[in-house]
Amino acid sequence: MDLSIVIVNWNSGKLLRGCTKSILKDKGLDFEGFVVDNASNDGSLEDIPKRFKIVRNDRNLGFAKACNQAIKLSKGRYVLLLNPDTVALKNSLKGMIRFLGKHKDVGVLGCKLLNPDKTVQPSCHAFLTLPHVFFEVSQLNILFPKNKFFIRTLSFLNKFFPKLFANYSTPNKPIEVDSVMGSCYMIRKEALRKTGLLDENFFLYHEEMELSYRMWKKGFKVMFYPYASVIHRGKHSTEQVPDLVYYERCKSILHFFRKHKNSQLAILKIVMFFSLLINSFSLPFKKNFKEALACRFKVLRLLI
C-alpha cells in the first residue's frame, strides 16, 4: 500500500467530513485512512466514509499520541499526517507519493498550504530560535494584527533573515527546509523506523518540527514540494480553547529546548519571561479574563 492517512480529530465539525471526502475524490489513490478522535462531542464523526477506520479515545490525548496510535496500525510505505480542516486538491497526494518514490533520501515532505481564497499560507518553517520564541510567546503579531508598520518591519526582516522568525517565504520549487507544517506532513515509513515516532511529551504544537529535527540528525532530508496543494482553514479546534493552546505552546517550546538545545535553556526562560510580560498587557481586553490570567500564571510556573 502506498499511503496511510492519519487525521486527528477534536470537535472539527463538518470540516472533517469535507477533508475525508476530498481524499476520496482523488481517483486511483492507493491508501488506507485513519481518523483518531480525541473524545469529540460535536457529532463530527457522523457520516465519515467507510474507507476510514475510526480510533476512539475517551479523553483528549493530544496530537502526537493520537498520531502514534494510528501510525502503529498503519501499513503504507508513507504516512500522511493531515489536519481535519484541510481539503486535498486533485492529484496532490499522488504527486507527493511520486516525488518520495524518486527521492529515497527524503524522510519528510510537505506541500503548499492555501487559504480558502487560494492565497498562500506559510508552508514550511525553520527550527525554533530565541527571536522566534519571543514573538510566539509575546504574540505581538496577534496584539497588532493590523499595524502596517509592525507587519512591514517583520516582513522586511524575514526577507533577509528567513530563519529568524521561523516561517520561510513559500518557494516555487522543491527545496530542502528545516521542517514543513504539520497540516500536511508526509513521512517515509522507513525513515520513521530509524527516528522513532512522534514525541508524546508534546501535547500540541512543535511535535512535527521536532520529528523533522530528528530526521535531519539521522541523515534524511525534509523537503517542501510546491506542486501539490491543500486548502487549510486553520485554527478551528484551537480557537475553542485559546488559553489551553497558549499554555501547551509554551510547554512545547520548553520541551524542545530541553531536548535539543539545553545549553540555551536559561536564556530561553528569560526570553519567555519578558515575552509573557508583554503578552499580559492584553489580558484586560480578553473576554475570559480569569481563565487567561490563570493560564499566564501556569506558564510562569513552567519558567521557575
- In this predicted model, what pLDDT tens digit does every residue of 109-132 receive, in sequence order? 999 999 999 999 889 888 998 988
The pLDDT value recorded for residue 238 is: 60
pLDDT in tens, 57-80: 999 999 999 999 999 999 999 999
pLDDT at 216 over 60: yes
pTM summary value: 0.92
The pLDDT value recorded for residue 106 is: 98
CA-wise closest residue to 43 among 9, 19, 67? 9
Q: Could you give the residue range(s) of every CATH 3.90.550.10 domain in the chain? A: 3-126+166-239
pLDDT at 284 over 70: yes
pLDDT band for position 36 (50/70/90)? very high
Grid coordinates 527546509 are at which residue? Answer: 177
- CATH 3.90.550.10 for domain 3-126+166-239, yes or no, is yes
pLDDT band for position 286 (50/70/90)? confident
pLDDT in tens, 121-173: 889 888 998 988 998 899 876 666 556 666 677 667 666 666 666 566 677 89
Q: What is the mean pLDDT of the chain?
A: 91
- Neighbour tally for 55: CB within 10 Å: 17
